[in-house]
Chain A
């Protein structure tokens, strides 16, 4: 009987592992599925590249600790984003205190590390530049509007999902999104105008 014990343990572990693989809520699966989303959202929410690893990691740590409470009323993605927003805010508060006199650098993606799966070099560079510019423009929005704008315009998430992710009423989402779009359009217009001035 004792000889069978290791084999039984192994079989049980294997079964559990297989169940976890099949379970979309298993933490490892969530990590693999949502890492890219959390990463780029952190980037778009203005997290400094030097601190992005920490913020993403912290988000998953919180998610892991809260996972037993997840009731499936929102999607994992929206839940994660809600956590991320809080982690980013806490991080930025700390960062601003430490660097009160220095404005945070625009946290655009490093063109060297931007992943591209299909485009040629020109398209690749254009995407990296566009991502950098959008990050810079989005950084001018306040925290609330930035979160809504990122989810709506870059993640293309639906308004109800955004409301769930941020824990705000649906009409607040629409209101913030409308203002965010106006501010983004204004900032983009300024940028284009400045480009002309620089050239001129």
Chain B
């Protein structure tokens, strides 16, 4: 079940290709990274030769910068471990710059080597193929009943023998009827308590977790799928939009009384509606059109108090309510 409407999905599809970095971005960050990680001398970001020819002070500076970066990173790890992502649980204190010799070679390669990357994105290790703009609703997590279809063996994830039968279940699922995701897919559904055993608090480091353990939570997902998790929120949004839009159209048509009635109806039906801000602003405009200045002023004050940073505040301020103020 997806809570996204077709227009939302179309927007996401379109946006997916809009965040790609340019080659300039790639080169710029590569150079900065080479300088940061470069334990070698000189910090030249043009050629390895010139980097090697630089003096000792620069070497010391680069090492300090590199170590500083790593220490800073370690601080980030420690600071953010509380309840969030916990890859860094294994941090055992500040570490020196890793592999100085390798780092220097790396810097040289980063600076000098032409990018092996072609225009097409390289395949990600173990990641599902991401066809830009080519996603269909059935590809989306939870968009259909395909949730467990995502649990499939991947070459890079070292899943071990536990995963082997999954290939079969993944292949056979296309022939299965919708809603079959239950404990009847045995390979994907070992016992869920493994989560608790291996991940106290539910937040253990990915690096420390065995992939099969993670997969053992699949029954949980299956149960979630079988249980209607959410009310029909999109319907609510659509209904809200329809109601407020009707009020807008009524006002534009000169039927202020009907517009006000619709806004009252909206406020009653959706006291915490997502379009409450728009509805409140529209109420000010309607009251102005009806010549009910005092009420418009009160509605305006209420609007500004509730949504002081609203994008509609300029229009509300420019309404009759503001002009009526002494």
Query: 22 A-B Cβ contacts within 8 A?
Result: A13-B105, A28-B109, A28-B110, A33-B125, A40-B21, A57-B33, A75-B126, A82-B85, A82-B206, A129-B18, A155-B130, A156-B16, A167-B205, A167-B209, A171-B224, A174-B141, A182-B234, A186-B274, A188-B7, A189-B238, A192-B7, A193-B241
A190 at the interface (CB under 8 A from B): yes
**B98 to A43, Cβ gap below 8 A?**
no
> What number of residue pairs across chains A and B have CB atoms under 8 A from each other?
339
Contact B113 A28 (CB under 8 A): yes
B33 close to A169 (CB less than 8 A) = no
**In A12-42, which residues have CB < 8 Å from any B CB?**
13, 16-17, 20-21, 24, 27-29, 31-37, 39-40
Q: Is the CB of A76 within 8 A of B95?
A: no
Q: Can you name 12 extra interface pairs (CB under 8 A) apart from A33-B122, A171-B224, A172-B202?
A: A61-B70, A64-B37, A67-B98, A71-B158, A73-B210, A126-B14, A160-B150, A171-B221, A178-B229, A182-B3, A190-B277, A192-B241
**Which residues of the other chain, B, contact A36 by a CB distance below 8 angstroms?**
20-21, 26, 121
Please report which residues of chain B, range 173-230, place their CB below 8 angstroms from some CB of chain A when the two chains form the complex: 195, 199, 202-207, 209-211, 214-215, 217-218, 220-221, 224, 229-230
Contact A53 B116 (CB under 8 A): no
Distance of A164 from chain B, by nearest CB (Å):
5
Chain B residue at minimal CB-CB distance from A155:
B130
Determine whether the beta carbon of A190 is less than 8 Å from that of B275. Answer: yes
Whether, in the assembled complex, B172 has its beta carbon less than 8 Å from a beta carbon of chain A, the answer is no
In the complex, the answer to whether B26 meets A75 with C-beta atoms within 8 Å is no
Question: A60 — which chain B residues lie within 8 A by C-beta?
Answer: 29, 33
Question: Inside 8 A of B309's CB, which chain A residues have their CB?
Answer: 103
Q: CB of A115 within 8 A of chain B?
A: yes
Residue from A28, A109, A127, A197 within 8 A of B278 (CB atoms):
A197
Report which B residues bind A (CB closer than 8 A). Answer: 2-5, 7-8, 11-12, 14-26, 28-30, 32-33, 36-37, 69-70, 72-77, 79-80, 84-88, 90, 95, 97-99, 103, 105-106, 109-110, 113, 115-117, 119, 121-122, 124-128, 130-131, 135, 139-142, 147, 150-152, 154, 156-158, 195, 199, 202-207, 209-211, 214-215, 217-218, 220-221, 224, 229-230, 233-234, 237-238, 240-241, 244-245, 248, 252, 274-275, 277-278, 281-282, 309, 311-312, 315
Task: Check if B87 sits within 8 Å of A178, measured CB to CB.
Answer: no
The docked-state distance in angstroms from the alpha carbon of A48 to that of B6 is 29
Please, which residues of chain A bring their CB within 8 A of the CB of B77?
62, 86
Q: Could you give, for residues 70-95 of chain A, a 1 whenever the CB lies within 8 Å of some chain B CB and a 0 otherwise?
A: 11111111110011011101100100
Which residues of B lie under 8 Å from residue A113 when comparing CB positions? 21-22, 24-25
Contact of A160 among B29, B30, B215, B244 (CB under 8 A): B215
A84 to B59 alpha-carbon distance, docked (Å):
28
- Name B's interface SS: helix
A residues near B (Cβ < 8 Å) are 13, 16-17, 20-21, 24, 27-29, 31-37, 39-40, 43-44, 53, 56-58, 60-62, 64-79, 82-83, 85-87, 89-90, 93, 103, 109, 113-117, 119, 126-135, 144, 152-161, 163-172, 174-175, 177-178, 181-182, 184-190, 192-194, 196-197, 200
Chain A residue at smallest Cβ distance from B233 = A182
Contact indicator B141/A168 (Cβ below 8 Å): no
Contact B207 A69 (CB under 8 A): yes
B residues near A28, Cβ cutoff 8 Å:
106, 109-110, 113
What residues on A are CB-neighbors of B16 within 8 Å?
154, 156
CB <8 Å contact, A193 and B245 = yes
